[in-house]
Chain A
């Protein structure tokens, strides 16, 4: 079986190409679509099983990261998006895409309250952009994106990645198993400690889902950690392998999310050469 992934581009989004490569790699047919083309033809979404809002700097983060792009989508695509997530589809928002999807109210969308902002993703605690590698722990088996994944080593790169919400909302997310990913330190909770939790995020939250788990939003970048050569410890892994007369494994943790999406749609994983 084959499935199609749509990756949105334009107005400062900038991770569409590597995100498309991630989906292609696991067997999707992926298409990068400029937001203005999607607005012109929202029916396009009917042809796709996966929607990816990739990372970037839409509208330069002006008026709050993801806010402006979400406004543009909300005014033009709200019904189309609601229809899309209500079908048996998968949606992922990565970094700026996470901020956009949260501002659109597609996640966490508790009580199916699509369109209402229930959490905020805001300025890092140290008010400074952070580009560094983090360790994530998968905290819920709700999401199809995270089946059989337990830990992930991938980078973050953001100035506004701090999940914030009131205690009631936090409790709801916990009770519903909608907290998908937390920052961790040596396999344990980061407990807000910098740099393990790079942004001061509430309860070390790095990613959440909607109630179905089919919509996943996360601040870290799985597509920047899908190959071993992208890793911060690549030269060490490569050296270890060489001493054993081996080559370092080609793939890395980030690809697992995309592979899970492929499994969800029963894609035969025809590995394309990277």
Chain B
């Protein structure tokens, strides 16, 4: 027996109005929409007083009215009059097992007045009035829900009346598994069958497969040989564990493998290598404290604090469920921050989305005959934007800095980047905060949420290309509030009580990864799987072990502290469980009711994976430089350039991400009174400490079409340059790399990868900017069909995102992009070359070209050192790194931001259109007060390309050489394309 509470909003409702606006695109005849929030309670609340107490917490009497039904009951007398006229009722709810945060809150509210174990499921009812056909309702229902995680049902007015409303649905998980069954797997089989297990998973009794392990034949053979030597067959859970631990996602095998003549692999040789060399060269000025060894990297903030940073990708899940993928991405990387050292406090989030054009209806299918369609670009964009909004805002972490980049090759695999910056005292209780170690004898304590089937095979699945067999259970939805409670309890209270030896996050691979990794320092573990709390009964042991249910951290706790730790957490509404012990036996052991179900050598688990040497090839891309006439109407061309998606304003995202929470924002994502979207932001994470943190990012994926070497170096240069434009100092700047590649089993792609990494190795060394953390994602390919059943493979352009984090001695060094006063001087710093290859300008004209921008590192470094000094002298009234769209776009953005015109004369080094739109790297547009001219130029002494190109004016026009454009026209062109999203 279940009970249904319907809460109708009877006053004007912003949600209903927005639905109406959106659905009228499908059914123009809609006249009115009403929205009701539904709570379905399993097991009714009988007591009238208690029920009324609950209703009070679900209903706002000023604007809402609620009704309660039990199954089979007629509604109250005023039910139909409250609903008023409508033609259709649509209800959207979750599928069984999907995280239902509203339901979860409702359970907590009921537990305040009734008892603890009521299950509550939320859903939303939408009543539509007007002339709307059944087909339209089907379309609206389709737009309202993602069938992977949600259900939709609808009824006509007549059906609704006859049935006394919608049906009561209780989406409870029912598993038929017997729970503790462990299967022994025979690996003494043919290589073909072995390979099949690796690709499709272990076979169930009914012949179905459990889902991809992502293990190559070589790996499967190594597993077979190990257990032959052990003299027994492996259990299913042992194979699943190895698949997780050895996955590309966890071991970064491509990045670690010998490649051509680089025996120690790209990661160790180039990325870690650059950092090592930079740290040695900087000596006492080294800013690094913890690099590549923890959940995040850390640099010095000041003598008392470290600042940490980590940027993650969450691409594959976001293709299937954009909202869930993105929210899980952001709250997941928050945990990387909590899991740094003894636990860092999240102080800033950042984000980035690489997407297909949301205005295009690009439709593909994962299966044949138009089955299993991909989500449309518009749906994906709205979903990922909303996911980070929900996760970031609810967590109380400001999200100032980010980007959106558009290329239609991201249609099947959007890239979703999520990053979190943390702060941690350098010492806690007299010990370095970044050092942690699980000791033998420490208890394994799992903290946070319970375990369900969420995200089974997330780690192995994200290492594979997306195709028809991609598992839906790989999708999870984050619960930011559960995590916020956990985060506050750990970071604001428990951390400083010295109760635990080590902490790490439960991310990809779940317990199998977190416990497995922490146990490396103690030398083994023994964990009782039957002690792990479950969301619902019936899960198999291997599922419990690798589940990626969110909002969990794993701690290593000395036995004497366990009771105090758990009691303290419980007092904060956070659950924790003692599930095992770290040992020094050298074995990884799992038990169920005392019976051993896994017992492997730690050495084999972590280092048993066979090396796979890689070889590469490389052919440079590009086309001949185009031969075309200079456009006649430069004003018109500039307006068109401003409206290109990679240049246009992303204000709609920035305005819905809380960038002011914690009170730390100094220069934000929207700058000047014209609110221009910025490439870098400055924050003051400690309100009583004048130091600032500058964040920026850089990427140039289309340059890969000519040469990944230049794509990667441009990304790095852009990140560094944007940080310097915002007031940064190149001597206190660190980098993070996120490598998102495609088809990394092909020699050409691996060759492109090697060139890219080689390129940034040298550039980072020249700039003396160390890498402190990174992440790679190697198979961003979509495989499926078009509407005519033609096989389609869409690979993303190889994408390297470089994120920069730097420290400002004082936030009053911060510089914004908007010019400040008429009469100020406008400078172009840096060299402009004929480098329009793969630029926004060429793409606008339909060309690719071959002259891709090359970073001239010596000249750049000299200029950047000078800019750092100029920043310390506070000489820039405004500053901006020149990015996509070149000088023309940069000048236009500056005029929009300030509302001030400029009178500019560009040198005639190149044909005028190329001068305007070349994307040569290493350049800035800076404005200064006239009286700072001498000092400014003196500090730039010895730099070749320092040119005063004009002045700021009080006119409403931007004038460049022989053409001019009104600022409000530029602003409209810049803001229009994405403003309605």
Which of A52-60, A175-183, A210-218 touches B?
A52-60
- The B contact surface, by secondary structure, is mixed
Given A125-B17, A238-B812, is A59 in contact with B60 using a C-beta cutoff of 8 Å?
no
Chain A residue numbers with a CB within 8 Å of B113 are: 75
Chain A residue numbers with a CB within 8 Å of B102 are: 60, 62-63
Residue A261 lies at the interface, judged by CB distance under 8 Å to chain B: no
* A95 vs B970: C-alpha distance when bound (angstroms): 36
Given A10-B572, A12-B394, A12-B484, is A155 in contact with B660 using a C-beta cutoff of 8 Å?
yes
Q: Is B874 in contact with A242, judged by CB distance below 8 angstroms?
A: yes
Q: How far is the CB of B893 from chain A (nearest CB, A)?
A: 15
Q: Is A234 in contact with B658, judged by CB distance below 8 angstroms?
A: no
Residue B661 lies at the interface, judged by CB distance under 8 Å to chain A: yes
Residue A11 lies at the interface, judged by CB distance under 8 Å to chain B: yes
Residues 666-689 of B contacting A (Cβ, < 8 Å): 666-668, 671, 673, 684, 687-688
Residue B237 lies at the interface, judged by CB distance under 8 Å to chain A: no
* A30 vs B59: C-alpha distance when bound (angstroms): 34
Q: Which of A17, A59, A122, A200 contacts B105 (CB 8 A)?
A: A59
In this complex, the interface size class of chain A, counting residues with CB under 8 Å from chain B, is 35 or more
Chain A residue numbers with a CB within 8 Å of B654 are: 131
Q: How far is the CB of B144 from chain A (nearest CB, A)?
A: 14
Residue A265 lies at the interface, judged by CB distance under 8 Å to chain B: no
* A214 vs B665: C-alpha distance when bound (angstroms): 30
Residue B74 lies at the interface, judged by CB distance under 8 Å to chain A: no
* Smallest Cβ-Cβ distance to A76: which chain B residue: B112
Q: Mark A12-30, 1 if CB is under 8 A from B, else 0.
A: 1111011001000000000
Chain A residue numbers with a CB within 8 Å of B87 are: none
Q: Which of B14, B662, B673 contacts A122 (CB 8 A)?
A: B14
Residues 441-490 of B contacting A (Cβ, < 8 Å): 479-481, 484-485, 488
Q: Is B481 in contact with A12, judged by CB distance below 8 angstroms?
A: yes
Residues 67-94 of A contacting B (Cβ, < 8 Å): 67-68, 70-72, 75
Q: Is A60 in contact with B481, judged by CB distance below 8 angstroms?
A: yes
Chain A residue numbers with a CB within 8 Å of B820 are: 235-236, 239-240
Residue A221 lies at the interface, judged by CB distance under 8 Å to chain B: yes
Q: How far is the CB of B229 from chain A (nearest CB, A)?
A: 51
Q: Is A18 in contact with B61, judged by CB distance below 8 angstroms?
A: no
- The A contact surface, by secondary structure, is mixed
Given A11-B485, A63-B37, A164-B12, is A274 in contact with B112 using a C-beta cutoff of 8 Å?
no
Chain A residue numbers with a CB within 8 Å of B394 are: 12, 57, 60-61
Q: Is B481 in contact with A126, judged by CB distance below 8 angstroms?
A: no
* Smallest Cβ-Cβ distance to B668: which chain A residue: A232
Chain A residue numbers with a CB within 8 Å of B668 are: 232
* A63 vs B122: C-alpha distance when bound (angstroms): 10
* Smallest Cβ-Cβ distance to B570: which chain A residue: A36
Chain B residue numbers with a CB within 8 Å of A63 are: 37, 57-58, 102, 105-106, 109
* Smallest Cβ-Cβ distance to A248: which chain B residue: B812
Q: Mark B304-319, 1 if CB is under 8 A from A, else 0.
A: 0000000000000000
Chain B residue numbers with a CB within 8 Å of A48 are: none
Chain B residue numbers with a CB within 8 Å of A200 are: 14
Residue B816 lies at the interface, judged by CB distance under 8 Å to chain A: yes
Q: Is B481 in contact with A72, judged by CB distance below 8 angstroms?
A: no
Residues 229-258 of A contacting B (Cβ, < 8 Å): 229-230, 232-236, 238-240, 242-243, 248
Chain A residue numbers with a CB within 8 Å of B109 are: 63, 68, 71-72
Q: Is A129 in contact with B665, judged by CB distance below 8 angstroms?
A: no
Residue B53 lies at the interface, judged by CB distance under 8 Å to chain A: yes
Residues 1-52 of B contacting A (Cβ, < 8 Å): 9, 11-15, 17-18, 37
Q: Mark B582-617, 1 if CB is under 8 A from A, else 0.
A: 000000000000000000000000000000000000
Residue A117 lies at the interface, judged by CB distance under 8 Å to chain B: yes
* Smallest Cβ-Cβ distance to A162: which chain B residue: B14
Given A122-B14, A232-B668, A235-B816, is A15 in contact with B661 using a C-beta cutoff of 8 Å?
yes
Interface size on B, residues (CB 8 A): 73
Q: Which of A10, A17, A221 contacts B660 (CB 8 A)?
A: A221
Q: Mark B379-400, 1 if CB is under 8 A from A, else 0.
A: 0000000000100011110000
Given A10-B572, A235-B815, A236-B820, is A120 in contact with B63 using a C-beta cutoff of 8 Å?
yes
Q: Is B62 in contact with A165, judged by CB distance below 8 angstroms?
A: yes
Q: Which of A11, A129, A226 contacts B481 (CB 8 A)?
A: A11
Q: Is A164 in contact with B62, judged by CB distance below 8 angstroms?
A: yes
Residue A64 lies at the interface, judged by CB distance under 8 Å to chain B: yes
Residue B124 lies at the interface, judged by CB distance under 8 Å to chain A: no
Q: Which of B11, B396, B658 contacts A131 (CB 8 A)?
A: B658
Given A17-B662, A18-B687, A68-B105, is A127 in contact with B14 using a C-beta cutoff of 8 Å?
yes
Residue A223 lies at the interface, judged by CB distance under 8 Å to chain B: yes
* A81 vs B104: C-alpha distance when bound (angstroms): 27
Q: Is A120 in contact with B62, judged by CB distance below 8 angstroms?
A: yes
* Smallest Cβ-Cβ distance to A59: which chain B residue: B105
Q: Is A75 in contact with B15, judged by CB distance below 8 angstroms?
A: no
Q: Is B877 in contact with A239, judged by CB distance below 8 angstroms?
A: yes
Chain A residue numbers with a CB within 8 Å of B656 are: 128-131
Residues 96-142 of A contacting B (Cβ, < 8 Å): 103, 117-120, 122-132
Q: Is A64 in contact with B60, judged by CB distance below 8 angstroms?
A: yes
Given A63-B106, A165-B62, A239-B820, is A234 in contact with B393 using a C-beta cutoff of 8 Å?
no
Residue B929 lies at the interface, judged by CB distance under 8 Å to chain A: yes
Q: Is A71 in contact with B101, judged by CB distance below 8 angstroms?
A: no
Residue A153 lies at the interface, judged by CB distance under 8 Å to chain B: no
Residue A47 lies at the interface, judged by CB distance under 8 Å to chain B: no
Residue B108 lies at the interface, judged by CB distance under 8 Å to chain A: yes
Q: Is A235 in contact with B396, judged by CB distance below 8 angstroms?
A: no
* Smallest Cβ-Cβ distance to A243: which chain B residue: B929
Chain B residue numbers with a CB within 8 Å of A71 are: 56-57, 109, 112
Q: How far is the CB of B689 from chain A (nearest CB, A)?
A: 9
Q: Is B396 in contact with A120, judged by CB distance below 8 angstroms?
A: no
Chain A residue numbers with a CB within 8 Å of B12 are: 164
Q: How far is the CB of A207 from chain B (nearest CB, A)?
A: 17
> Max chain A CB contacts within 10 Å: which of B37, B102, B394?
B394
Q: Is A15 in contact with B17, judged by CB distance below 8 angstroms?
A: no
Q: Which of B57, B64, B659 contacts A68 (CB 8 A)?
A: B57
Residue A3 lies at the interface, judged by CB distance under 8 Å to chain B: no
* A264 vs B673: C-alpha distance when bound (angstroms): 36
Chain A residue numbers with a CB within 8 Å of B571 are: 34, 36-37
Residue A9 lies at the interface, judged by CB distance under 8 Å to chain B: yes
* A273 vs B688: C-alpha distance when bound (angstroms): 7
Q: Is B815 in contact with A15, judged by CB distance below 8 angstroms?
A: no
Residue B655 lies at the interface, judged by CB distance under 8 Å to chain A: yes
Chain B residue numbers with a CB within 8 Å of A72 are: 109, 112
Chain A residue numbers with a CB within 8 Å of B684 are: 229
Q: Is A236 in contact with B818, judged by CB distance below 8 angstroms?
A: yes
Chain B residue numbers with a CB within 8 Å of A125 are: 14, 17
Given A14-B661, A127-B14, A129-B389, is A234 in contact with B488 using a C-beta cutoff of 8 Å?
no
Given A57-B394, A164-B11, A242-B874, is A234 in contact with B61 using a C-beta cutoff of 8 Å?
no
Chain B residue numbers with a CB within 8 Å of A59 are: 105, 108, 481
Q: Which of A34, A60, A274 contacts B687 (CB 8 A)?
A: A274
* Smallest Cβ-Cβ distance to B824: which chain A residue: A239
* A224 vs B63: C-alpha distance when bound (angstroms): 30
Q: Is A67 in contact with B57, judged by CB distance below 8 angstroms?
A: yes
Residues 870-923 of B contacting A (Cβ, < 8 Å): 874, 877-878
Given A17-B662, A230-B665, is A117 in contact with B62 using a C-beta cutoff of 8 Å?
yes
* A10 vs B485: C-alpha distance when bound (angstroms): 7
> Max chain B CB contacts within 10 Å: which of A67, A200, A221?
A67
Query: Could you name 7 residue pairs across A and B whose Cβ atoms are closer than 8 Å?
Result: A15-B396, A18-B663, A120-B11, A164-B11, A224-B660, A229-B812, A235-B815
- 19 further A-B pairs in the complex, CB-CB below 8 A; given A60-B481, A70-B57, A224-B660: A12-B484, A14-B661, A18-B662, A18-B687, A57-B481, A62-B104, A62-B106, A62-B481, A63-B58, A75-B113, A118-B62, A122-B9, A127-B18, A157-B661, A159-B393, A224-B661, A235-B818, A243-B821, A273-B688
CB-CB nearest 8 A-B residue pairs: A14-B396, A62-B105, A71-B57, A18-B663, A120-B62, A127-B18, A123-B14, A235-B816
